[in-house]
Structure 1
Amino acid sequence: MTQKDMITWGILGCGDVTEVKSGPALRGADRSDVAAVMRRDGDKAADYARRHGIASSTDKADTLLAMPELNAIYIATPPSTHAEYAIRAMRAGKDVLVEKPMALSTDECRSMEAAMNDTGRKLVIAYYRRALPRFERLREIVQGGEIGEPRLIEVRHFMPADARPGQSWKVDPAVGGGGFFADMQTHALDWLGHVFGAPRAVRGLSKRQAGNYAAEDLVTYLIDFGALTAVGTCSYATTPKEESVTIHGSSGSASMGFFRPSPITLTGPDGSREIDLPDPPHVHQPFVERVIAHFLDDAPNPCPPSEAMRVNEMLETIYAGT
């Protein structure tokens, strides 16, 4: 296959998310392969390449971006570097898939979108839950009237105070943009926007209650989607552990865990039933397949900058407490 028929990836930042979730998906999708990886620790980059059967590794971003055999870059570094690397990659002639959240700020998101428009390259943000079968089925339930008219969205996320992410930057706002809320609940904010459209208004409140790290550990919010409202209660200094998203309708409800293997619980006048749609082994793969179709076939962008940017806008408003 030629470059016009095949996406040859370079992975910029081959950390934990690329081990199972995304890296094997980039190699396993049709018309897609990974030819090179970059990590600032060159030994770890070389080890990753060896274990995953990838031809080349480097500890320098410039080296990766200059490789002529690459026509796309997957950016899996912390959010504080997303804008810089995405813009550099597009200016180097590469299409880009960048991890979520899109960037550290809405202004950085706008700069990325401007670079996409200026260079004519393609830019996708990896809100991959959009493409997972159980999330697609939940969207069909809500939009297809199976619970009647949607009235209220209830988001609940509780974790104990001693919980810590695998990487310390995920609770450092200067690097990750916030704490657990920014790292995890951006998926929920994106999915809600994907299903219900742009919000009319957003209000929020955040606090540091336990003070165990620099980021917030309590977030509450209201999002007005016009015909219905989302209410979020997210506490990372409480017990017991709990996580769910429930859409309440005029004739039933649908509920599911977003961050754990979970069936959809569908409740109506005749009782409850569960719909079990297991996630694939490499959870990014359904989304990656849509990315490949966008890059090669001009299929619709599975998560364009204009939509991913809305998540950053919501984050900033919630954190501002307005």
Structure 2
Amino acid sequence: MKQIVQSVSDGELRVVEVPQPEPAATETLVATRRSLLSAGTERAVRELASASLLRKARARPDLVRQVVSRARTAGIRSTVAAVRSRLDEDMPLGYSATGVVVAAGAATEGLRPGMRVATASVGHAEYQAVPGLLAVPVPEPVSDQAAAFGAVAAIALQGLRQAEVGVGGSVAVVGLGLVGQLTVRLGLASGLTVIGIDLRDWTAELAASGGAVGLVEAGAATTDQIMELTRGRGVDAVLITAATRSSEPVTRSTEIARDRARLVVVGDVGLELDRRGFYERELDLRFARSYGPGRHDRAYEDWGVDYPIGHVRWTARRNIEAYLDLVAGGRVAVDDLVTHVFPVDQATAAYDVLAADPRALAVQLSYSAPAEPTRDAITVRPRSRSPRPRAGLIGAGNYAKATFLPALKAAGWADDLAAITSAKGLTARHAAERNGIALVLPTAADLLARDDIDTVFILSRHDSHADLVARALDAGKHVFVEKPLALTQDELDQVRAAYDRNSGHLFVGYNRRHAPMVAHTKRVLAADVGPLSISYRVNAGTLPDTHWYHDRRQGGRIRGEVCHFIDLASWLVGGQPAAVHAYGSGRGEPGLEQDVNVLLGYPDGSTATITYCTRGHRSTSKERLEILGRGHTVVIDDFRRLEIDGREAKLSAGGKGHRELLTHVRTAVAKPVSDQRELAASFGSTRAALSVVAALAGVDAQPSRLPTQVGDVTAGYAS
């Protein structure tokens, strides 16, 4: 399918072929008919992407601070690699469209194939996988052209709701671009007196043609006109829909608002404010967030959990519904706002018009994608067929691009990468272009069905790991899966059964075992016997509320990260823990605990304490491992410094073992090398991580009481 993307680094715009998306249970697949270019938002995004790195930094000082913080803890080289990876991306464009439902997920409600819907949060592509609550049925009288305004109109409507002005009240709309014009028309339909203000005469005239009072900003003269229109009181609310770095629109709004009025910021404007104007009239400054309640809420968008109407009357979906009903009833008209329509193949021309024509207000793209899409692979770069077995990747997120794929190449896999797939096909296409991968496949099932793929690397979201591992093994593949191997004991049993009934290798991404410093430490400790005392401190750092680790379906940080440190401690001891105790902060549900202390006890008398904390200072190294026993004291500080018995050990290679692990995988796949020892360790670490979650929940589920046999793989894995 065709999708419009732009380069994050230089703003280059392209229409690319990517696989059709696969809708999740809470999503619906929509064949797009029309999509709307939001003049203000998309023009600003394009300008920023086209800007120099210095200008980008000035525009986003918050991201600069994050880069500096990371450099202090992770090092300059790692930080530069991460920044380059983020800049070397293609981002999708568009968020307001309409189309026809092709397929509805099992957990969506009121949607069926053939239904016309207005969509939000996804836009300029022939097919969209849309959150079910953001795919809104379109009434029959509403044209595709009008329905494509749904998400942008909801932004305007949410601003009006924040203003809380009843019938007969007055509002001023400052900034008469597309969102401003929609705000004017929706305000008039709500029974309000609307005054539109702009620096341009033609936009003021357009607002006036719809029934508002259109004024060209002229300072004191404009203020006098507004006071005359409002009987000397000022307006009840000001909606600021302008887009400018200047703070002038907000400052001017204080002069035309009545006492105790509301100022609602809808557009992207400067906010260097003078307190006096707000204090003297005790003004209420508010901000409207996108389409309304539910936007940027994971439960609403990703999980399909609606807000009860008795508690939240106007959600993002209901705002779009309200707009469509107003259009269907003839109370709001928008067709005259459309200035240009281009077929999707000419998207670059559409953006050129948006940039060059100051009167390009609402520019739309048209589509003719069939309602029964094909599921063909995308050939990115034709390559000669290799006689050797070849590999496929499932997942193309940030970790895959910034860390895993470079490590794969360094381990000798570069010529054997045959295909890639991801939940969002655009990320897979981008990774394929940058890494010489010939095919981008629509789904994981398509990749597993290919006979020319021998080894599968699974780097998808955590809740898919166990199922994909079992399916890949059953398809006769060798499998590498990033940790965690499983999120529940049932999933672990599923993986174990699949491994037992097949002959393929299975590897888990516990790379720290293979780090050069760990390998050297193992050799030092092997010279003697006896129990070890291990202390592992992890300064994990906080994650934003929107991070997917907060999604309970993904297992949280214990299953996804703490398992790494459990695994390394067990690998150094040479066995799996017989007892697991865990203590958390008690904030939130046990499975999503972010601050935890874990105590592991081993049959040989060894102990390991893992302190995983998110509240440390950013200058503190992320990982510090101390090992005492067998006549030695070993300190590994963030895998950058190794100290043995008080002396620093200089190694020729450093790092956390990604390349070394993948080299081991390559050797094991190419030759009859047993994976039993490593796999036993992986199953043991997974069971221990599950036991940590159980302990935090107050459930007695120690690893020693869980099954320890994995086919021919035994619980012990002493070196």
Q: Normalising by structure 2, report the TM-score.
A: 0.40
Structure 1 residue 10 corresponds to structure 2 residue 392: yes
Q: Post-superposition shift, 1:137? A: 0.8
The one-letter amino acid of 1:13's match is G
Q: Post-superposition shift, 1:36? A: 0.5
Where does residue 670 of structure 2 map in the other structure?
296
The one-letter amino acid of 1:154's match is S
Which deviations, in whole Å up to 9, do the C-alpha atoms of 1:55-114 show, x marking residues without a partner?
011231111111221111000012210111111112222111111111112321221121
Looking at structure 2, the residues matched to 165 and 135 of structure 1 have their Cα atoms a distance apart, in angstroms, of 32
Which deviations, in whole Å up to 9, do the C-alpha atoms of 1:237-273 show, x marking residues without a partner?
344645311011264411113xx34211123xxxx21
Structure 1 residue 107 corresponds to structure 2 residue 490: yes
The one-letter amino acid of 1:139's match is K
Q: Post-superposition shift, 1:6? A: 3.3
8 Å contact from structure 1 (residues 155, 232) kept in 2 = yes
Match of 1:287 among 661, 673, 682: 661
SS of structure 1 residue aligned to 2:635 = strand
Which deviations, in whole Å up to 9, do the C-alpha atoms of 1:139-173 show, x marking residues without a partner?
2222224xx8554111112345xx22798222333
Where does residue 155 of structure 1 map in the other structure?
536
SS of structure 2 residue aligned to 1:288 = helix
Change (3 A) 1:94 1:212: closer
Change (3 A) 1:71 1:251: closer
Looking at structure 1, the residues matched to 408 and 569 of structure 2 have their Cα atoms a distance apart, in angstroms, of 26
The one-letter amino acid of 1:215's match is L
Q: Post-superposition shift, 1:28? A: 4.0
Matches within 5 A, 1:53-92: 53-92=436-475
Structure 1 residue 95 corresponds to structure 2 residue 474: no
8 Å contact from structure 1 (residues 207, 219) kept in 2 = yes
The one-letter amino acid of 2:401's match is E
Which deviations, in whole Å up to 9, do the C-alpha atoms of 1:26-65 show, x marking residues without a partner?
3443476211100121122111101111101123111111
Match of 2:566 among 189, 197, 200: 189
Structure 1 residue 277 corresponds to structure 2 residue 656: no
Change (3 A) 1:305 1:64: same
The one-letter amino acid of 2:428's match is A
SS of structure 2 residue aligned to 1:19 = helix
Looking at structure 2, the residues matched to 154 and 214 of structure 1 have their Cα atoms a distance apart, in angstroms, of 23
Looking at structure 1, the residues matched to 576 and 591 of structure 2 have their Cα atoms a distance apart, in angstroms, of 30
8 Å contact from structure 2 (residues 525, 630) kept in 1 = no
Looking at structure 1, the residues matched to 532 and 472 of structure 2 have their Cα atoms a distance apart, in angstroms, of 43
Q: How many residues align?
A: 308
8 Å contact from structure 1 (residues 206, 220) kept in 2 = yes
Q: Post-superposition shift, 1:214? A: 8.0
Q: Normalising by structure 1, report the TM-score.
A: 0.85
The one-letter amino acid of 1:199's match is P
Larger Rg belongs to: 2
Structure 1 residue 319 corresponds to structure 2 residue 696: no
Where does residue 601 of structure 2 map in the other structure?
224
Q: Post-superposition shift, 1:299? A: 1.0
SS of structure 2 residue aligned to 1:276 = coil
Q: Post-superposition shift, 1:296? A: 2.1
8 Å contact from structure 1 (residues 134, 278) kept in 2 = no
Q: Post-superposition shift, 1:277? A: 3.1
Unaligned 5+ runs, structure 1: none
Change (3 A) 1:7 1:291: farther
Looking at structure 1, the residues matched to 482 and 566 of structure 2 have their Cα atoms a distance apart, in angstroms, of 15
Q: Post-superposition shift, 1:232? A: 2.0
Percent pairwise identity: 24
Q: Post-superposition shift, 1:279? A: 5.0
Looking at structure 2, the residues matched to 167 and 16 of structure 1 have their Cα atoms a distance apart, in angstroms, of 16
Matches within 5 A, 1:246-261: 246-249=626-629, 251-257=631-637, 260-261=638-639
Matches within 5 A, 1:39-50: 39-50=422-433
Looking at structure 2, the residues matched to 282 and 190 of structure 1 have their Cα atoms a distance apart, in angstroms, of 13
SS of structure 1 residue aligned to 2:450 = coil
Looking at structure 2, the residues matched to 217 and 282 of structure 1 have their Cα atoms a distance apart, in angstroms, of 22
Higher RCO (CA 8 Å, separation ≥ 6 residues): 1
Where does residue 171 of structure 1 map in the other structure?
550
Where does residue 198 of structure 1 map in the other structure?
576
Structure 1 residue 309 corresponds to structure 2 residue 683: yes
Match of 1:137 among 506, 510, 520: 520
Change (3 A) 1:135 1:93: same
